[in-house]
Structure 1
Amino acid sequence: MKTIVSAGLFLLPFAAAVAAPPASFDPQRLSNHVKVLASDAFEGRGPATAGETKTIAYIVDQMKAAGLQPGGSVAGGKRGWTQDVPLLRAAIEGTPRLSFETDGQSRPLAQGDQIAVRAAMTGAHHVSIANAPLVFVGYGVKAPERNWDDFKGVDLHGKILVVLVNDPDYETGQGDFGGKAMTYYGRWTYKYEEGARQGAAGVLVIHETGPASYGWNTVKNSNTNTQFDIVRANPASAHTPMEGWIQRSVAVDLFRASGLDFEALKKQAQSRDFRPVPLKARFSADYAVDAKVITSHNVVGRVVGVHHPDETLIYSAHWDHLGVGRPDARGDTIYNGAVDNATGVASLLEMGRAFASGPRPDRSIVFLAVTAEEKGLLGSEYYAANPLYPLAKTVGMINTDAIGVAGPARNFSISGAARLGLLDDLIAEGRSRGRAFMPEAHPEAGGFYRSDHFPMAKRGVPAISFESGNDLVKGGTERGEALARAYTEQRYHQPADEWSADWDLTGMAQDLNMLHALGTRLANSREWPNWSADSEFRAARDATATARK
């Protein structure tokens, strides 16, 4: 046994490394996969569309060609290639009628420009809200373990909550929520969930580019199209009747009409003494919703282990993107999702090829392409709640989402600030290749809660989402950061996220070689990675320890 230091944060023991046979990843093969999956013919890979049908067929065909075995659901005594994922599909029909009323005057709100209202996730076929009072609730956080309650027992039933994005610590970088690194309380998904617990009629998140970590285009494109959710027994427990975002400028005007200063109230909201502030304004909404339950699919390939086939390592990536949506300035309506996440699927397929063509590992390896990540990690959430292979005997999950296309890097990272033995192993593999681990450059973006490893992590399974480095061999961190900013501003969740012949995918091949070595280490050892002793996920993992004896 030896000890590796994980990001300089803590120590965890792990078994001595097993030498990995060299794996060769062809940049041209990777590029070809992305080119196909991100082509207009796949229509942006939206769930429950013709684009899904083409995507599933392509992934299955490529998994077969790579030599993988079907690893999906069992039917007729045989495993298939897919796992059915039932989802609630909801889309606003026509143009929603939305307005604020201040000083007795009605102010219409343009969907997509001033406001971005999501289709109802409650299963309702019509949303009608008439003159509901608005209340500013700060960051909308109720965290007893931090002695924090933005609601203070105020009755918010039937009201519209106006809430800031991110955590109370974001502006100052210090406080009760760990500084700049976003907690789950900072995610917009949490804001909606807490609004439902408070009995609100709706939640409007105020968009600001810094704390959101993306611009209004991303908000608009992600929220005004067709929405999906897992099928819930009681959807009202997780969703208010109306959910949406408003532009910061709209919020500033709204507060001013109530005789309030937005910046002053935002400052007050950073204190645990904050109390909800009623606005002298009301909100109305009226729109029809086409809501129905559909079936999407996860795709699953497998290499069966020789000695411990009941023990499973998972590589994952989401196959979906936003489909066809609102036109951009060029009139393009297809959200191709080349980097996000055709690169991850290409990585998954070629990783499957590498393991299927090499010596069979001791443990089984599953290659899981999940649906509806863009709609809230729904495919991975469904798999985690309905695993095809027991979570207690799942060694770990290695997720790939938006892999770098700008050439080799001297470093690498993971989404979020996780502390676990699986990261120790990855750091060791990186070090052997002369690559340094870099803690996530922008923890305030809440990356840990935005990728498909999270549903597994919260159930205790050691899980990471790999991130290519920003210290590029050609251009260093200056070029790496500049390219990342340009992607976020100009292509992320926009039609411009398209395949390019100019990409340098030798860096992606380098990344995959390292992740293959990590998987080989885990699949041919008796190691069971765990979370650090102080991790919020440790107890869930330890609760299943007897299954791994």
Structure 2
Amino acid sequence: MRLKLLTVAACALAVSACASMDAGGGGAAPAFDAQRVSDDVKALSDDSFEGRGIATPAEDKVVDYLSRAFADAGFQPGGENGGWTQAVTLNRFTVSNARAQFEAGGEAIPVAQGEQIVISTRLPAARQNLADLPLVFVGYGTTAPERQWDDFKDVDVRGKVIVVLVNDADYEQPELNTFNGRAMTYYGRWTYKYDEAARRGAAGVLVVHETAPASYGWATVRNSWTTPQFDIVRQNAAAERVPLEGWIQRDVAVDLFRRAGLDFEAQKVAARSRDFRPVDLSGVTIDAAYDVSSTTVTTRNIIARLPGTTHPDETILYTGHWDHIGMGEPDAEGDRIFNGAVDNASGIAGLLELARVWGAGPRPERSIVMIAFTAEESGLLGSEFYAANPLYPLETTVAGFNLDAMNVYGRLSGLGVTGHGQSADMDGRLAAAAAAQGRVIVPDTNNAAGTYFRSDHFPLAKRGVPMAYPKGSGDFLDEPIADRVAARDEYGARRYHQAQDGWLPVMDFRGAVQDLEAVYAVGRDLAFSRDWPQWSPTSEFGPVRDRSAAARR
């Protein structure tokens, strides 16, 4: 399907955009080229890359494409043993023949995989047979001692399937401000809810899907969770994973609550209070059976490095994820390849263009490292693996910039900063770079979606590395503005994590170039300085960074 939206002349893409910000290296930055970015996005999201699924033949094509491009830009292999990659060992789980039904009052209520329910697991087993498991509603499934919050209280949920709401307890009533208002905390992420269920010994989790608090529709849930799932290899998986990780549609939850004599909306309200206690869905059970194929696979982070001249042991990172969903069930148009043009061929194209500009400019004093992470779509696993097994010490990693789903709709008046306020130091540097472009900083515009916890900067940030996650924001600068807004909105509604996220000739990469110029300018300032960016005093990541202060001179 083609968008009939933008009318930007093709020649606009061919115009090189030059950074005008001077930095410590001296002189204006070499040119960023919107056409080159477009070409890389088009290539990486081509059907021949089969959706860039990890541990598939497509992965070899990605490694070859990126390593050649980084080498052409003047970068050296930055991976293990003098190569371009870092091996990341994962378990891959494929669920098949999934059947599930609820029972209430002697009546069976069948639910179809991908339609009313999505069932998956990251627990090694040949088959799961779950019969007559009771359901218990545990609100948002949160245990946060620092906020004096415990949704579980003293209730034992071992052997039960817990039903949880998506997002945080503040989402519906941000004025409560127990969990940062509408700004999602880590407690609102599905990853946390699944982990907490395992810590509690639950047999399974069912997250109630609602589009607004999840920030995506059911199609995204279906597409993301009915394909193979991945996890890092765990020594004690039985204690860290549950047999059933699932989602259910809201109307299914409403019906189940009604059959248990409960009002779903009333229970949602009750769950916003510290006084909430778990509620049994009396008389309601679930039966689920599914085959699980579990195999160990090795996928790869792709790493390139430009060594610094005087402080090569100090690193500035630029990151993004190369993987996407791969291939799944055909959509309504028969397309089963999830091309991932915006998410995240755009960010990888940005890394390649940054490498070309860094390679053409003055050699930095500190090293520049580009990492194309694997398995982001599986739960930030490539970045989590790197952060736990860094090839360049995190203590002397100066700072980093993450590129994920870049702006492909045209120039914008602002530079958005996801996680604004976490590091006033990095915020200020980005603000100065944006001001040099005639733009302004725009704090998180959709922090209720928990975007700060949903991309590859997060595993590094939680280990103390000051990581920025910027992307274009604000008002469009070029006509037709209404069409550009419609294209951006249409992506979120119909293309995100769907087969229709493909390269389109109407895409306008001049906005992406604005953002690349900004992160290059800040990185270049740092590369020719002795500065070490800091976290804000209120950031939870500051104390982690402080513990390694002696390593930074």
**TM-score > 0.5, shorter chain as reference:** yes
1:301 maps to 304
Query: What is the deviation of 1:52?
Result: 1.1
Deviations 1:397-455 (A, max 9, x none): 10100111111111011223442112221111111211111111111000000010000
Q: Please point out which of 23, 27, 40 is paired with 2:30.
A: 23
1:442 maps to 446
Residues in 1 aligned to 2:169 and 2:471: alpha-carbon distance in whole angstroms: 27
After TM superposition, the structure 1 = structure 2 runs for residues 170-181 of structure 1, keeping only pairs within 5 Å, are: 170-175=171-176, 176-181=178-183
Label 1:354 to 1:413 Cα distance change in 2 as closer, same or farther (>3 A). Answer: same
Would you say the 8 A contact 1:361–1:520 is kept in 2? Answer: yes
Q: Please point out which of 464, 472, 491 is paired with 2:476.
A: 472
Long gaps (5+) in structure 2: 1-21
After TM superposition, the structure 1 = structure 2 runs for residues 68-87 of structure 1, keeping only pairs within 5 Å, are: 68-74=75-81, 79-87=82-90
Q: Please point out which of 213, 222, 225 is paired with 1:223.
A: 225
1:50 maps to 57
Would you say the 8 A contact 1:470–1:480 is kept in 2? Answer: no
2:375 counterpart letter in structure 1: A
1:394 counterpart letter in structure 2: T
2:249 maps to 247
1:455 maps to 459
Would you say the 8 A contact 1:117–1:243 is kept in 2? Answer: yes
Query: What is the deviation of 1:474?
Result: 2.5
Label 1:235 to 1:484 Cα distance change in 2 as closer, same or farther (>3 A). Answer: farther
Residues in 2 aligned to 1:198 and 1:17: alpha-carbon distance in whole angstroms: 52
Identity of aligned residues (%): 52
Once the two structures are overlaid, the 10-residue window that deviates more, 481-490 or 206-215, is 481-490
Q: Please point out which of 277, 302, 320 is paired with 1:275.
A: 277
1:242 counterpart letter in structure 2: L
Query: What is the deviation of 1:298?
Result: 0.4
Residues in 2 aligned to 1:237 and 1:20: alpha-carbon distance in whole angstroms: 56
Deviations 1:50-108 (A, max 9, x none): 1111111111111111111010012xxxx111000001111013x20111011111211
Residues in 1 aligned to 2:384 and 2:431: alpha-carbon distance in whole angstroms: 27
Would you say the 8 A contact 2:29–2:357 is kept in 1? Answer: no
Question: Is the aligned partner of 1:195 residue 2:234?
Answer: no
1:37 maps to 44
1:528 maps to 532
Question: Is the aligned partner of 1:138 residue 2:170?
Answer: no
Question: Is the aligned partner of 1:507 residue 2:508?
Answer: no
Query: What is the deviation of 1:475?
Result: 5.5
Label 1:435 to 1:447 Cα distance change in 2 as closer, same or farther (>3 A). Answer: same
Label 1:20 to 1:263 Cα distance change in 2 as closer, same or farther (>3 A). Answer: farther
1:193 counterpart letter in structure 2: D
1:546 maps to 550
1:66 maps to 73
Residues in 1 aligned to 2:27 and 2:163: alpha-carbon distance in whole angstroms: 53
After TM superposition, the structure 1 = structure 2 runs for residues 90-101 of structure 1, keeping only pairs within 5 Å, are: 90-93=93-96, 95-101=97-103
1:163 maps to 164
Query: What is the deviation of 1:483?
Result: 3.5
Would you say the 8 A contact 1:166–1:187 is kept in 2? Answer: yes
Deviations 1:290-348 (A, max 9, x none): 10110000001110000000000010110000000121111110000000000000000
Query: What is the deviation of 1:151?
Result: 0.6
1:126 maps to 127
Residues in 1 aligned to 2:481 and 2:428: alpha-carbon distance in whole angstroms: 24
Label 1:476 to 1:388 Cα distance change in 2 as closer, same or farther (>3 A). Answer: farther
Secondary structure of 1:246's counterpart equals: strand
Residues in 2 aligned to 1:387 and 1:178: alpha-carbon distance in whole angstroms: 31
Query: What is the deviation of 1:174?
Result: 2.0
Secondary structure of 1:373's counterpart equals: coil
2:346 maps to 343
Aligned pair count reads 528
Deviations 1:15-66 (A, max 9, x none): x963663231111111110111001000000001111111111111111111
1:274 counterpart letter in structure 2: F
Question: Is the aligned partner of 1:377 residue 2:384?
Answer: no
Query: What is the deviation of 1:481?
Result: 5.1
1:488 maps to 492
Deviations 1:344-372 (A, max 9, x none): 00000111111112110000000100000
Residues in 2 aligned to 1:440 and 1:284: alpha-carbon distance in whole angstroms: 42
Residues in 2 aligned to 1:170 and 1:103: alpha-carbon distance in whole angstroms: 33
1:11 maps to none
Secondary structure of 1:438's counterpart equals: strand
Residues in 1 aligned to 2:406 and 2:310: alpha-carbon distance in whole angstroms: 32
Label 1:161 to 1:476 Cα distance change in 2 as closer, same or farther (>3 A). Answer: farther
Residues in 1 aligned to 2:480 and 2:422: alpha-carbon distance in whole angstroms: 27
Query: What is the deviation of 1:479?
Result: 6.0
Q: TM-score, normalised by structure 1?
A: 0.94
Secondary structure of 2:108's counterpart equals: strand
2:323 counterpart letter in structure 1: D
Residues in 2 aligned to 1:147 and 1:512: alpha-carbon distance in whole angstroms: 42
Would you say the 8 A contact 1:316–1:370 is kept in 2? Answer: yes
Residues in 1 aligned to 2:164 and 2:319: alpha-carbon distance in whole angstroms: 33
After TM superposition, the structure 1 = structure 2 runs for residues 279-428 of structure 1, keeping only pairs within 5 Å, are: 279=281, 280-420=283-423, 421-428=425-432
Deviations 1:269-294 (A, max 9, x none): 11111111100210111111110110
Secondary structure of 1:471's counterpart equals: strand
2:268 maps to 266
Residues in 2 aligned to 1:193 and 1:161: alpha-carbon distance in whole angstroms: 12
Query: What is the deviation of 1:149?
Result: 0.7
Deviations 1:112-132 (A, max 9, x none): 0000112x2122221111110
Deviations 1:367-397 (A, max 9, x none): 1000000000000000000000000000011
Residues in 2 aligned to 1:237 and 1:353: alpha-carbon distance in whole angstroms: 46
Secondary structure of 2:362's counterpart equals: coil
Residues in 1 aligned to 2:406 and 2:192: alpha-carbon distance in whole angstroms: 27
Secondary structure of 1:528's counterpart equals: coil
Residues in 2 aligned to 1:479 and 1:399: alpha-carbon distance in whole angstroms: 27
Deviations 1:455-503 (A, max 9, x none): 0000000002222224111269876654333111110000000001111
Would you say the 8 A contact 2:140–2:168 is kept in 1? Answer: yes
Would you say the 8 A contact 1:20–1:517 is kept in 2? Answer: no
Label 1:325 to 1:20 Cα distance change in 2 as closer, same or farther (>3 A). Answer: farther
Would you say the 8 A contact 1:86–1:230 is kept in 2? Answer: yes
Would you say the 8 A contact 2:152–2:277 is kept in 1? Answer: yes
Secondary structure of 1:330's counterpart equals: coil
1:212 maps to 214
Residues in 2 aligned to 1:126 and 1:524: alpha-carbon distance in whole angstroms: 56
Label 1:20 to 1:545 Cα distance change in 2 as closer, same or farther (>3 A). Answer: farther
